[in-house]
């Protein structure tokens, strides 16, 4: 799939994954990369940007074995933005479908 | 590529970023390796799946320029009001600034008043000088000396007022700086 397509929706996908519950980097990277066929690393700079924009917060939590993991939590601001993204995405999708489907 | 090699290349590429941030990123990617190893992947495989290390570094650098000013702005906004400095400003104004300023203004007003009233007397005396007869010489001498007196008062008033305005404006600036930024 076109890499530009993927990049445009990654922020939204990461936020959406965190809506269902807090998660750590590997989990998000693994799930997203297996579904969207991305390099695992792609997710990490995005997580960092989301954190610096205040859309997610981070905290450390002990893991069963090994050092504590950094968990990501969706903030209210992040949730609001996610809803906005989803609305935009849906209406955009509809328009694009109309255009590529040929019904004008 | 091993975990150590991958992280070393990454930190080299990120060397333009602040040390703390690079450390943070290295920790995060390092923990990705650790988790993946726990799940039975080899370091080599993980490195491949993470993607090109230079691309990853570039992505991190690309998000940073926008972030840094934002962080700086946030910090300056979040800085608490300098309470100690504000109390000092209020007390200093009440006990030092206001008394000195008011005295100074009073002296300036007095000088202006002295100049105006003496000028009026000076002119008034000229109008009756022809009636003085034998006293005309001392009267003229008196007028000349009071003319110089007027000049002195005028100069004093001029510099007094100018100094007051200058001092007041820099004093207000100093007050504002203390009020906003603290000591």
Is the pLDDT higher at B151 or at B73? B151
Check residue B138 and give its pLDDT. 87
Check residue B72 and give its pLDDT. 52
d(CA A4, CA A7): 5
Q: Using CB atoms, which residue from B36, B63, B67 is nearest to A26? A: B36
Check residue B137 and give its pLDDT. 86
The ipTM assigned to this model is: 0.85
Q: Are B126 and B143 in contact (CB under 8 A)?
A: yes
Check residue A7 and give its pLDDT. 72
d(CA B59, CA B75): 25
Q: Does B17 have pLDDT greater than 90? A: no
Q: Check A44 against B56: CB less than 8 A apart.
A: yes
Check residue B74 and give its pLDDT. 52
Among candidate residues B18, B22, B1, the one with its CA nearest the CA of residue B10: B22
**Tens digit of pLDDT at every position of chain A (104 positions):** 677 777 778 889 999 999 989 999 999 999 988 888 788 898 999 999 999 999 999 998 887 777 788 999 999 999 999 999 999 999 998 998 989 987 65
Check residue B10 and give its pLDDT. 94
Q: Using CB atoms, which residue from B29, B49, B62 is nearest to A44? A: B29
Structure tokens at B10: 């990454």
* Arithmetic mean of pLDDT over chain B: 87
Strand partners, A23: A72
Structure tokens at B142: 């008196």
d(CA A64, CA B34): 13
Domain ranges of chain B: 3-76, 83-181
Strand partners, A57: A73
pLDDT digits (tens, 9 = 90+) for B19-29: 888 999 999 99
Please name the residue of chain B whose CA is at the shortest distance from the CA of residue A70: B28
d(CA B129, CA B125): 6
Compute, in degrees rounded to 10, the torsion defined by CA atoms A25, A28, A34, A35.
-160
Q: Check B25 against A48: CB less than 8 A apart.
A: yes
Compute, in degrees rounded to 10, the torsion defined by CA atoms B106, B107, B109, B111.
160
In angstroms, the Cα distances linking B34 to A32, A34, B2, B29, B45 are 19, 19, 12, 9, 13
Q: How many CB pairs under 8 A join A and B?
A: 68
Whole-prediction pTM: 0.56
């Amino acid at each position: 799939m076109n890499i530009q397509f993927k990049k445009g929706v990654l922020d939204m996908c990461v936020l959406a994954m965190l809506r269902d519950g807090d998660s750590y980097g590997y989990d998000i990277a693994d799930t997203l990369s297996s579904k969207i066929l991305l390099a695992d690393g792609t997710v990490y700079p995005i997580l960092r940007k989301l954190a610096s924009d205040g859309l997610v917060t981070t905290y450390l939590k002990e893991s069963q074995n090994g050092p504590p993991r950094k968990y990501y939590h969706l903030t209210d601001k992040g949730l609001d933005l996610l809803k906005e993204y989803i609305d935009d995405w849906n209406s955009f999708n509809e328009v694009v479908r109309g255009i590529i489907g040929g019904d004008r | 590529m091993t975990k150590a090699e991958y992280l070393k290349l990454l930190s080299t590429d990120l060397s333009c970023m602040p040390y703390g941030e690079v450390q943070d990123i290295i920790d995060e990617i390092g923990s990705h390796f650790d988790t993946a190893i726990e799940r039975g992947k080899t370091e080599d495989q993980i490195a491949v799946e993470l993607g090109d290390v230079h691309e990853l570094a570039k992505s991190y650098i690309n998000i940073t320029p926008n972030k840094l000013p934002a962080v700086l702005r946030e910090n300056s906004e979040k800085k608490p009001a300098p309470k100690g400095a504000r109390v000092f400003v209020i007390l200093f104004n009440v006990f030092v600034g206001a008394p000195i300023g008011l005295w100074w203004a009073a002296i300036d007003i007095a000088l202006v008043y002295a100049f105006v009233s003496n000028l009026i007397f000076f002119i008034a005396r000229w109008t009756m000088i022809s009636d003085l007869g034998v006293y005309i010489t001392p009267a003229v001498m008196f007028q000349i000396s009071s003319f110089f007196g007027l000049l002195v008062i005028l100069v004093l008033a001029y510099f007094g007022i100018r100094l007051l305005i200058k001092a007041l404006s820099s004093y207000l600036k100093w007050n504002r700086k203390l009020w906003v930024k603290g000591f």
